[in-house]
A = this chain, B = another copy of it.
Amino acid sequence: MSQTIKIGKQAMLLATLSEEELAMFSGGFENIEFCQGKAGSMEVQKVIAAVETAAKRNGIISEDVYRETHALYHAILESLQGVTRGQIGVGNMMRTVGLRFAVVRGKPYSRPEEGEWLAVAFYGTIGAPVKGLEHETFGLGINHI
């Protein structure tokens, strides 16, 4: 069994690269569904809500089906573990984040039984609530849907 579409890598590029840079990867995002967005907050809930709302509005997941919300929620949480490096309570610690995110839905495996999976990537900055007192941060979460 091999992994034919790297939805994680695609989510990372979509969250990180500028439009010009993304244009270099022409043809790279054809077999997936994806959306992009921004979230900036000190509260984890708001970051989660921003991704959930974007994914539902763009039809990446179905608003009506709990198992899709459940799959996305856990992919977001895993991605936020990378962003906060194990301490997911961002807003609890005077750190503020400015993040771009991407949600990718696709079929990473060649075998049809493996079905669809989700990837959620964040890229941005985390730091004190003062412009410049911050460094980059990144997260990636993947889940079956």
Is A94 within 8 A of B45, CB to CB? yes
Query: Does A86 sit at the interface, judged by CB under 8 A?
Result: yes
Which residues A126-145 have CB closer than 8 A to chain B? 127-128, 131-144
- What residues on B are CB-neighbors of A82 within 8 Å? 81-83, 85, 138-140
* Closest residue of B by beta carbon distance from A48: B94
| Distance A26 CA – B89 CA, assembled complex (angstroms) | 38
CB distance from A92 to the nearest CB of B (A): 5
- Using a CB–CB cutoff of 8 Å, the interface residues on chain A facing chain B are 1-3, 6-9, 12, 16, 21, 24-25, 43-45, 48-49, 62, 64-67, 69-71, 73-74, 77-78, 81-83, 85-89, 91-94, 108-109, 111, 113-115, 117, 119, 121, 123, 125, 127-128, 131-144
Q: Can you spell out 6 A-B residue pairs with CB atoms less than 8 angstroms apart?
A: A21-B25, A44-B89, A48-B93, A74-B74, A77-B85, A108-B135
